[in-house]
Amino acid sequence: LNKPLWRLRMMLLDVIYFILRNSVRVVMRPRTKPIDGELVLITGSGGGLGRLFAQEFTKHGAEVVLWDINGTLNEQTAKLVREMGGKAHTYTVDVTNREDVYRNAELVRKDLGRDVTMLVNNAGVVAGERMLDCPDELIERTMKVNCHALFWTVKAFLPQMKAQNHGHIITIASILGLFSTACDYCASKFAAVGFHESLAHELLTEEFEGVKTTLVCPYIVDTGMFEGCKIREEVELLLPPLEPQYCVEQAMNAILIDQPLVCIPRLTYLYTFILTRDYTVFLCTSIA
């Protein structure tokens, strides 16, 4: 039996296994974990998905730490959380500045007397320009916020999670990290996906089973961040922009069952499957 054919058969067995496993999960949905009492830090919490995540975590009894570069908007989020009866702590932080991240991480530990147990890397920006039309400064800003900041926040909070073998890191990436469209944004989100997958693999190999990871890959969300960006009509008919509340609720459903990856909407899973399948078949036919 030649190697390419053997690999192809193994791929088909994997596909059958995952189909059967996911079919069982549809019927027997995993039990959701309680997060009441968890200390959840959310970046980019001044509006959009970050604000909605703060409210959703509060609904489930978590205490939230809100990081945003805009202090005024961040306080508005905190007010909404407190009106729900929740606890919110605000910090004005530039997540692209690693010294600012590390300093505020220590301040959170000092102020609250406890460690962050769940980290939601949500902060993001988009320029929405073609590569040659996009100013260099905007490209740098996009990469720093959407990619580099992930390194600084994870380095600030992961050691304590490892020490307790308890924690959860959530990366809000984008399905556009797998599409080839707006160059700067897609490149930054592709980097975010790669960062998260590498982190998850590292935790797995080091056997930190208590530190969970969830990669959230939504399609375009109607938060205003993509205002001015045009979607081809034939694509928009099939995939209109997502409602923010729906996006956050779907993400929360995945987080609460420790799901490693969630693509929103479900239709986008098809694209990720096609990518994986094409790549696997390429390997099977190219390596003899």
CB 55 within 8 A of CB 31: no
Query: Distance between CA 286 and CA 281 in Å, rounded?
Result: 8
Instruction: Give me the residue label for tokens 């995939």.
Output: 239
Query: Distance between CA 234 and CA 222 in Å, rounded?
Result: 18
CB 6 within 8 A of CB 287: no
For 237, other C-beta atoms within 10 Å of its C-beta total 9
Q: Which alpha helices (H) appear in the chain, and where do they start and end?
A: 3-27, 48-59, 71-83, 98-112, 136-143, 149-164, 183-205, 233-238, 244-255, 268-286
Angle ∠(33,204,152) on CA atoms, nearest 5: 85
286: phi then psi, degrees, rounded to nearest 5:
-105, -20
Query: Distance between CA 202 and CA 199 in Å, rounded?
Result: 5
Catalytic residue among 17, 91, 185, 279: 185
3 state DSSP class of 239: coil
For 182, other C-beta atoms within 10 Å of its C-beta total 21
Residues in the chain: 288
Please say if 185 is a catalytic residue. Answer: yes
Q: Which residues lie below 8 Å from residue 227, measured CB to CB, with a gap of 6+?
A: none
Query: What is the token pair recorded at 207?
Result: 């056997």
Write out the catalytic residue numbers.
Answer: 185
